[in-house]
Amino acid sequence: MTTELLLDHITKQLRMPTIAKQYRSLAREAEERNLRYEEYLMALLELELQTREENQKQRRLKQATFTVQKTLDSYDFSLMPSLNKNRFLTLAKGEFVQKKENILFLGNSGTGKTHLATGLGIELIKNGLKVKFITAAQLVEELLLAKEEHTLLSFEKKWLKFDVIIIDELGYVPFSKIGSELLFQFFSSRYERASVIITTNLDFTEWTSVFGDEKMTAALLDRLTHKAHIHLLNGESYRFRQSIKRKENNAEG
């Protein structure tokens, strides 16, 4: 067996596809540049590592199930002066996740809550964290199904594997009594164990209209807001302002 065939076999056995693809061309480049063996080996390993990290990131993005992948870079913070862009970039580094803290976005429809939550989630994924995106209505449906199938415990354990869960549109659809209780239990199971990011169009005083029971709502808010980063996005619709700005820019052009 030739050296090349042997190398192809070994890299396949070691599951190093990038090295298998690149070692020939890099060997020629190393020879032309008179690189040391160590430098050639380092270049190969760095390529393999970069490819693996990129593949892992793509898997985590797919696993997150974002409805639309919107980044923080594409959010126009100038249209929402109450928000501090630098603060968001700091949050995106993930320190709040290590501290098991939550993030809550409260505001009217169209103020960019989902965009910001998704943008944060994508940045957290880039930093190696596992993120899951789901609407509150979908989560309650899955919880009700798990209860019906007597798999609630395994369901909660499965979701605890995610470092951050983004729960979108809390308050858009009221829940049944059982659904509210299951959601309360779900949040309680993550309390001080893992982070959540929540978007809602309701003020805290209105949460009882969704959960029904005042005591349960108060207990839930106590858990969610303990060590939480709360962002109020009130005023005109972000999407409306964005549309106006685009029209102004087009007119100027």
* Burial annotation 187-223 (CB, 10 A radius, 16+ → b, else e): bebbbeebbbbbbbbeeeeebbebbbeeebbeebbeb
What pLDDT does 240 receive? 47
**Residue 133 and residue 65 in contact, taking contact as beta carbons nearer than 8 Å:** yes
**Residue 95 and residue 127 in contact, taking contact as beta carbons nearer than 8 Å:** no
Is 250 inside any structural domain?
no
Count of CB atoms situated within 10 Å of the CB of 177: 11
**Residue 67 and residue 95 in contact, taking contact as beta carbons nearer than 8 Å:** no
Domain shared by 49 and 117, yes or no: no
Domain shared by 149 and 42, yes or no: no
Residue 219: which CATH number? 3.40.50.300
Of 4-13, 88-97, 125-134, the least confident = 4-13
Domain shared by 233 and 110, yes or no: yes
Domain shared by 87 and 161, yes or no: yes
Last residue of a domain, one of 43, 59, 75: 59
Domain shared by 10 and 47, yes or no: yes
pLDDT tens-digit map of 144-179: 999 999 999 999 999 999 999 999 999 888 889 999
Is 253 inside any structural domain?
no
Last residue of a domain, one of 59, 77, 107: 59
Supply φ then ψ for residue 229, to 5 degrees.
Answer: -100, 110
Domain shared by 51 and 86, yes or no: no
Last residue of a domain, one of 44, 59, 74: 59
Chain-centroid distance of CA 122 in Å reads 5
Whether the pTM exceeds 0.85: the reply is no
Domain shared by 27 and 73, yes or no: no
Domain shared by 54 and 150, yes or no: no
Mean pLDDT along residues 128-142: 97
Name which of 56, 112, 158 is nearest 120 in CA terms.
Answer: 112
Range from 92-106, 197-211, 223-237 that averages highest in pLDDT: 92-106
Domain shared by 119 and 35, yes or no: no
Total number of domains in the chain: 2
pLDDT tens-digit map of 9-42: 888 888 889 888 888 998 898 888 998 989 989 9
Domain shared by 226 and 161, yes or no: yes
Q: Is the dihedral of CA 86, 88, 92, 93 positive or negative?
A: positive
Domain shared by 48 and 24, yes or no: yes
Say how many residues make up the chain.
253
What is d(CA 121, CA 143) in angstroms, rounded to the nearest whole number? 22
Is 251 inside any structural domain?
no
What is d(CA 27, CA 96) in angstroms, rounded to the nearest whole number? 44
Cα–Cα distances in Å, from 195 out to 19, 100, 190, 214, 227? 37, 5, 7, 24, 10
Domain that holds residue 14: 3-59
Domain shared by 174 and 70, yes or no: yes
